[in-house]
Amino acid sequence: MDKVWTEVKPLYLEEMQKYNYDKMEEQLQFLWDYLRMERTDTFIFVIIPNLLDMHWSGTWSTYENYGYIVEHRQVHNFNAHEYLHSIINPLIEKHYGRQRRKLTKYYQAEKKLPYAQSYQDPKAYAWESFVRALDLRLHVLQENDPETTKRCEDRVEYLSKEGLGLVRPFYLLLKEYELTDGSLDHFIPIMLEKVPEYPG
């Protein structure tokens, strides 16, 4: 193992040098400004490049006060998607019950489609859809240019057609949230109530 690590270590060091840590800090602050919530975690983030995995894959785990993001990405920004799960999943879990019937219809109708197959649980399906919508919305607002907006909104439509049908309504409802003054945790139950019935 020492011999292998000696051989591949330069590749990992090169990968780490591609990250812009100042920009990542700005992105994290932008995320919390958007949520309008009090940040309760004090994670020290540890980014671990995984050069053996496919592009755009990533995992999030915590140990004590560290938040570990293991990823293989084509861009080197803050991985908001993985971190957002630690914030959004409990909120969806808290409010899911009141809208269970409606949200489960999306899951039941789409669970065999490509992007839904990894989330064979109605709640996981819902929070994955929400996190993807929120991640794309943050990207649109941070970049603030027509090309990025089109690319992200094309992605919304693609994901919605390929098995994550809640991405589109969540994305549109986030635009409504942006016109309010409250925090996202207070708006989530309103969003879940406003999600339209499954079309079909």
Q: Is 69 left (phi over 0), alpha (psi -120 to 50) or beta?
A: beta
Calpha distance 72→181 (Å, rounded) = 36
Q: Which of 10-24, 51-65, 106-120, 163-177 has the lowest mean pLDDT?
A: 51-65
Judge whether residue 4 has pLDDT over 90: no
Q: CB under 8 Å to 73, separation ≥6 — which residues?
A: 55, 56, 58, 79
Mean pLDDT within 83-99: 95
pLDDT of residue 74: 60
pTM for this predicted structure:
0.88
User: Do residues 196 and 104 lie in contact, with contact meaning Cβ atoms separated by under 8 Å?
Assistant: no
Judge whether residue 146 has pLDDT over 90: yes
How high does pLDDT run on average in the chain? Answer: 90
Mean pLDDT within 117-130: 93
CA max distance for the chain? 58
C-alpha distances (whole Å) from 3 to each of 12, 64, 144, 161 are: 15, 31, 46, 47
pLDDT of residue 13: 84
pLDDT of residue 45: 85
Judge whether residue 55 has pLDDT over 60: no
pLDDT of residue 19: 82
pLDDT of residue 68: 86
- Concatenating the DSSP letter of every residue in 43-89 gives PEEEEEE-TTSPTTEEEEEEETTEEEEEEE-SS-S--HHHHHHHHHH
Backbone torsions φ then ψ of 139, nearest 5 degrees: -65, -45
Judge whether residue 54 has pLDDT over 80: no
The bridge status of strand 44-49 relative to strand 66-72 is parallel
AA letter at 188:
I
Band (pLDDT 50/70/90 cuts) for residue 59 is: confident
Calpha distance 67→74 (Å, rounded) = 21
Judge whether residue 122 has pLDDT over 60: yes
